[in-house]
Amino acid sequence: MKTLMMESLKIASQLHKKGVSRQSRIMLSIDDPIAFIRFFLAGQNLGAVVIPLHRKFTNDEIISCFETVKPAILVTDQSHLKVFKKNKINQLSVDDFDLSDTYFIQDLPNVLPDPEDVCVILFTSGSTGLPKAVQLTAVNFISSARSWHQEVQFTEHDNYLLCLPVSHVGGLNIIIRALLYGFNISIAIDFNINKVNQLIYHQDISLISLVPTMMSRLLQSNNITSLFSSLRLIVIGGGPISDKLLKICRESNLPIMVSYGMTETCSGICGWHLSAVTAEEDGNYIGFPFNDVKLQVDDSEIVVSGPMVMKGYIGETDCRGIHYTGDLARISDDNKTYISGRKDNIIISGGENVSPEEVKNILMQIPDVNDCEVAKLPDNEWGMKIVAFIVLKNYDESRGLIKPGDQGIEIKNYCKGKLADYKIPKEVFYVNSIPRTDTGKVLKTKLMSIYNDSKH
């Protein structure tokens, strides 16, 4: 760690010579996680605003992000140089910085940034449109870290396996918590299954954070009991967990904590432990709020307030510690809160409201279904019709769009009696995979492109 800190100071010195100062915006597009950490710390040493860029953003998304934040400087590595040259974006390579023992740190300013200053700008996943730029402060990160420490009780003996991308709030927060609480990090951001297995088996991993798709892949590849025997906690977040996945985790007695949160709240703000609740709970249950988090339901929408809530989106008004999540809530008879869908995701078909999450939950109960997504399409009869995208365990690419008389009827028949007729998908479409971001969120624009391309 001392070497890493010294290298970050060398980078900070060179960035300062290039005009970077307090509140300057530095965009980072760096695949190597160690190099990313060096430049992230260098930016923080100068009181600058660090802007990590998702490595899987499309060309249009990169241009949109750049125009939104207007960074003073862009640092990238070889894997991204061509993308930025193509768009005529000024940049520096990580190789332009001298980290040798002979480099002498000079003229490094003594910066005491205001903890209320924006220190990081993170982009949302852009799963339903162009990404939004979320402004986060030191207060946000420290408050989030304290809440998580109270829940998890980090120690210097912990070894946290970092699988989430560092451009995502979940991955970045693991780094920040390690700096604050002194635990170790092992890195497997590419999420190569063999590498993850080796690290868990041989590096005494005690903590890991995963999105549901990552957890499913690990469970399919290994003897569950032996793989996870060293772990004291497995955090799963980033989206709803299917009942099928929860059932496997329960039966295997895995130390699961399900987390609910978002970029706008600087990571998870609620959670529940699989061992502490009944088997009736499903993956849409959000658990109890962490320390300093206040949850309310306003017109069926979950509203979060607390010191971890973002300063605001770029170009919009200050949040003042309150965030309307866009998640719709269902309150049970015993006052537990469940996600019932997205405010902007409800499908109105034939005048009836349909929650895609409810339909997906039923589809995932079908034994041959490995993954699925539900979308809406304009329809002359229904206004909007429900389309199911299905990934089978034994996928046959020749099947494509299911028409009346094909095996899509089996999907629809399964739903009968479990869903109201108006909630049953009007079309079923077989795909080899559901396009997702690094953190498991469905890329709906890409999904619809697959559908549209099949029609031509």
Whether the Cβ atoms of residue 8 and residue 38 lie closer than 8 Å to each other: yes
Q: Are residues 146 and 265 in the same domain?
A: yes
Mean pLDDT for the chain overall: 87
pLDDT at 404: 39
Model confidence at 395, pLDDT cuts 50, 70, 90, reads low
| pTM exceeds 0.85 | no
Helices H / strands E in the chain, number of each = 13, 24
Q: How far is CA 180 from the centre of its chain?
A: 22
Q: Are residues 321 and 206 in the same domain?
A: yes
Kindly report which listed range (14-28, 39-53, 414-428) carries the lowest average pLDDT score.
Answer: 414-428
398 in a domain, yes or no? Answer: yes
Q: Are residues 229 and 98 in the same domain?
A: no
200 by DSSP, 3-state: which?
Answer: helix
- CA 47 vs CA 85, 113, 118: distances in Å: 28, 6, 9
- 288 beta partners: 271
Q: Is 50 exceeded by the pLDDT of residue 268? A: yes
Q: Are residues 144 and 43 in the same domain?
A: no
Kindly report which listed range (31-35, 257-261, 327-331) carries the lowest average pLDDT score.
Answer: 327-331
Distance CA 33, CA 195 (A): 15
Whether the Cβ atoms of residue 305 and residue 323 lie closer than 8 Å to each other: yes
- 137 beta partners: 118
Most confident of 171-175, 201-205, 452-456: 171-175
317 in a domain, yes or no? Answer: yes
Model confidence at 373, pLDDT cuts 50, 70, 90, reads very high
238 in a domain, yes or no? Answer: yes
Average pLDDT over residues 160-183: 95
363 in a domain, yes or no? Answer: yes
Range of the domain at 428: 347-454
Q: Are residues 320 and 367 in the same domain?
A: no
pLDDT at 65: 87
Q: Which residue has 């409201």 as its token pair?
A: 353
121 in a domain, yes or no? Answer: no
Check the CA dihedral 123-436-447-87 and report its sign.
positive
Average pLDDT over residues 408-426: 87
388 in a domain, yes or no? Answer: yes
Whether the Cβ atoms of residue 370 and residue 423 lie closer than 8 Å to each other: no
Distance CA 114, CA 116 (A): 5
Q: Are residues 134 and 232 in the same domain?
A: yes
Model confidence at 396, pLDDT cuts 50, 70, 90, reads low
CATH of the domain at 352: 3.30.300.30
Model confidence at 444, pLDDT cuts 50, 70, 90, reads confident
Q: Is 80 exceeded by the pLDDT of residue 283? A: no
CATH of the domain at 80: 3.40.50.980
Q: Is 60 exceeded by the pLDDT of residue 307? A: yes
Q: Six-digit token pair at 135?
A: 């402004």
Q: Please name which of 134, 2, 148 lies closest in space to residue 68, comparing C-alpha atoms.
A: 134
Q: Are residues 190 and 76 in the same domain?
A: no
Task: Tell me how many domains the chain contains.
Answer: 3
* Tens digit of each residue's pLDDT (9 = 90 or more) over 323-367: 999 998 877 777 788 888 888 788 888 778 888 888 998 999 888
Q: Which residue, 56, 90, 113, sits at the end of a domain? A: 113
Distance CA 298, CA 419 (A): 27
Q: Are residues 294 and 243 in the same domain?
A: yes
| Helix ranges, 70-133 (H) | 81-86
118 in a domain, yes or no? Answer: no
* Tens digit of each residue's pLDDT (9 = 90 or more) over 216-241: 888 887 667 677 888 999 999 987 78
225 in a domain, yes or no? Answer: yes
Q: Give φ, ψ of 67 to 5 degrees.
A: -70, -30
Q: Are residues 293 and 393 in the same domain?
A: no
Q: Are residues 360 and 307 in the same domain?
A: no
Q: Are residues 303 and 359 in the same domain?
A: no
Q: Are residues 109 and 229 in the same domain?
A: no
Q: Which residue, 113, 138, 157, sits at the end of a domain? A: 113
Q: Which residue, 325, 343, 361, sits at the end of a domain? A: 343
